[in-house]
Amino acid sequence: MKNYIVLVSCYQIFILIYLIELPNAKGNITGKNVQGKKDAAEGCFCKLSGTVDDCECKVENVDFFNNLRIQPLLHEILQTDYFRYFKVNLNKKCPFWYDDHQCSLKDCAIDKCKMDEIPIGLKESSHQDTKENKYSEKANSEEHTCEEKVKLAALDKTISDESKQAFQSWSAFDDAQMTFCEIDDELSSEMEYVDLLLNPEKYTGYRGHSPHRIWNSIYDENCFKPNPTYAYGSPQLKAGDQLEGICLEKRVFYRMISGLHTSINIHLSAKYLFPDTVYKPSRWGMNVKEFKQRFDPETTAGQGPQWLKNLYFTYLVELRAIAKASPYLEMESFYTGNETNDLKVKNDIKKFLDAVRSFNDHFDESKLFQGDSIQAKKLKAQFQIHFRNISRIMDCVGCDKCKLWGKLQVQGMGTALKILFSGNSIGPNSVVNANKKNNFQLRRTEIVSLINAFGRLSESIKELNTFRNTMM
């Protein structure tokens, strides 16, 4: 009898311990893990409040405005034919270095992929235990077969015959509208339409040496810095540490690139491919661990929260560009050949632009490149050259889906900058003169990339809210 009592007591103690560690109804962990989880969330999000750097707008206002007003409208617009098809050249050679990566390329045939051909960065960490490697050793050593990598990186180029016929009429319509804004490869035979809805931005298995070289080239060679020597660490970390002592224009450039980088990393974490396990088949879902690895202060030398805040800066810059171009965009027909759908897009865009214009704290581009001094003109020219270089670096991306979204978002950001510094005046109340199209013109691909790029930023801010709720 005594033994029975002892067994019951041990069982009760076991149940008590189990209940202490059991997830509650909201998915939180009770007991000691609650505080640890809360600390981790507060660490990542500790700077997501108050005024956005180099702006007058508050993070909280952007969250409310984007998540309740802008995001629902954008979601509907980006489903339409005009905005889902993006014309792009994915076959351009990298102009800066030999493109030697394997398996993440669309034409990496499965029968040619041997283990000794796969870059070491895809098999294991090539920069173990260094700040330069933004992934953990475990993350870099996660195995995906070559076949899996090809599937993850491959583009779905399915386009219906009906859509192909419509594209011909779209081009004829553009020519009739005397669109003359130069875009690389616009007349190239290698330009092709890609359905963005069939190729969403998400995890592709593209990691290791190749993407590190892309971002290193962007930050190390094309972001402004006060001196030619960087401290040791990852390219984004090094560039961020150099912000003190440089002018507003150079800070703006860095924050925009950092915000874009942050947005991409959020999407890769939010739409992550979990591999097969003995308990579950492979699946897509939100990876909190990956998110923390990319933004937690402990894994980013304290810079991750600032990178998240830079996302809001990039959002505000592109939001302002759309507001400035709103009279121009309202005059567009958004032609696809389907009169009913085209009219609906125009009406949806009108609602979207009305919402954009209602925002009270737009970015003020008039603070940049002030005056007509030689120094201001020289700085503006450098700004343009650096950004043009970054757009060319996108042709060095070794994963087709990554390249697609990289080119689209960089082009969208470039279109936003073009809008901000065009027109008869510059400043928060200025607009592009839509009645004089010969002085300013946006091609279809610029409009598509502008709205889709802003859509990516908008979605990232929404995803941040989801991550925060999950981690708290």
- Burial of residue 286 (CB within 10 Å: 0-12, 13-18, 19+) is middle
Of 44, 223, 396, 402, the active-site residue reads 402
294 labelled binding-site residue: yes
Residues 312 and 260 sit within 8 Å (Cβ to Cβ): no
- Tokens 């490149």 correspond to what residue? 369
Q: Which of 270, 349, 291, 322 is nearest to 80 (CA)?
A: 349
Q: Could you confirm whether 396 is annotated as catalytic?
A: no
204 labelled binding-site residue: yes
443 labelled binding-site residue: no
Phi, psi of 284, deg, nearest 5 = -95, 140
261 labelled binding-site residue: yes
Return d(Cα 355, Cα 352) in angstroms, integer: 5
Assign 26 to helix, strand or coil: coil
30 labelled binding-site residue: no
Return d(Cα 241, Cα 302) in angstroms, integer: 11
Q: Could you confirm whether 57 is annotated as catalytic?
A: no
Return d(Cα 223, Cα 217) in angstroms, integer: 9
CA dist 48 → 44, 53, 333 (Å)? 9, 11, 38
Structure tokens at 419: 């809008």
Structure tokens at 77: 């617009």
Of 44, 55, 396, 399, the active-site residue reads 399
Residues 44 and 292 sit within 8 Å (Cβ to Cβ): yes
Which residues are known binding-site members for FAD? 204, 215, 258, 261, 294
Catalytic residue IDs: 399, 402
Which residues are known binding-site members? 204, 215, 258, 261, 294
